[in-house]
């Protein structure tokens, strides 16, 4: 399921109070816990994830980790009473994985619930929370993208040539693989961005419109291969 561009997988349950999901590991008696895509998109690129040194049985609502971005600091909390059996150590080294793959490799902890039926009794399925998620996306102005943008380039009220000049200036200072979000109100931008991608070899991963605004998610390629010469 997708809500306003944000994924909401139907193969797990959710605790929206704490912005976390729960997915059972078949046949093992354990489950993985991670943060929702709406929280990850609202927070922006995570700069750090630190696990709390907690052991034993932990009550529902206890913090197991802290995540931090430029504009957000918050705790990852257990949705039900459980014991931690594994921490995703990769996230300490690469916290951005939580943004880029929140429902996959961005899981935070693996736990064993004290009562196996707690998740079914206390947590909700995707179809039950769809409208609440939609409302939260709008109130937070959360936007989910195929890759998390490192920076937003907002150019409103200027011609597309100036927009592209600013984009080129910004992309020079980025690492290969970095994503940038370009926002413009130039009506010719959909055509010009295709031409720009062909000429530079950098990818346009997504394009959305909201009213008169065009939003383009651009990825800087480490070794760009232009498909059309400049001219």
Give dist(CA 42, CA 203) in Å, integer.
Answer: 24
pLDDT at position 229? 64
**What is the predicted pLDDT for the residue at 143?**
86
H or E segment to which residue 46 belongs:
strand 46-51
pLDDT the model gives residue 70: 87
Show the domains of the chain with their CATH numbers. 2-140 (2.40.50.100), 149-219 (3.30.110.40)
User: In the prediction, which pLDDT does 191 show?
Assistant: 96
DSSP state of 40: H
Is residue 134 within 8 Å of residue 46, measured between CB atoms? no
**Distance of alpha carbon 100 from alpha carbon 183, whole angstroms:** 21
Q: What is the mean pLDDT of each run of 10 residues along the chain (231 residues)?
A: 93 97 96 97 94 96 96 96 98 96 97 96 97 93 87 91 94 93 96 96 95 96 84 55
* List of residues 6+ apart from 59 with CB closer than 8 A: 78, 81
**pTM (predicted TM-score):** 0.84
Q: Which residues pair with 49 in a beta bridge?
A: 67
């Amino acid at each position: 399921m997708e809500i306003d561009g944000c994924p909401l997988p139907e193969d797990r349950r959710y605790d929206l109070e704490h912005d976390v999901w729960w997915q059972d590991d078949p046949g093992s008696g354990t489950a993985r816990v991670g943060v929702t895509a709406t929280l990850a998109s609202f927070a922006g690129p995570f700069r750090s994830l630190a696990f709390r040194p907690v052991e034993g049985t932990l009550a529902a609502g206890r913090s197991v980790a802290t995540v931090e971005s430029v504009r957000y600091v918050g705790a990852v909390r257990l949705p039900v009473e459980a014991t931690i059996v594994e921490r995703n150590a990769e996230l300490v080294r690469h916290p951005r994985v939580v943004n880029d793959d929140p429902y996959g490799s961005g899981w935070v902890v693996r736990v064993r619930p004290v009562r196996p039926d707690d998740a079914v009794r206390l947590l909700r399925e995707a179809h039950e929370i769809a409208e609440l998620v939609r409302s939260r996306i709008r109130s937070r102005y959360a936007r989910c993208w195929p890759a998390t943008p490192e920076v937003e380039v907002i150019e409103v009220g200027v011609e597309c040539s100036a927009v592209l000049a600013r984009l080129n200036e910004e992309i020079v200072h980025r690492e290969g693989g970095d994503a940038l979000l370009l926002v413009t109100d130039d009506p010719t931008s959909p055509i010009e961005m295709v031409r720009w991608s062909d000429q530079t070899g950098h990818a346009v991963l997504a394009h959305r419109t909201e009213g008169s605004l065009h939003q383009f998610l651009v990825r800087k390629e480490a070794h760009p291969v232009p498909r059309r010469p400049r001219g």
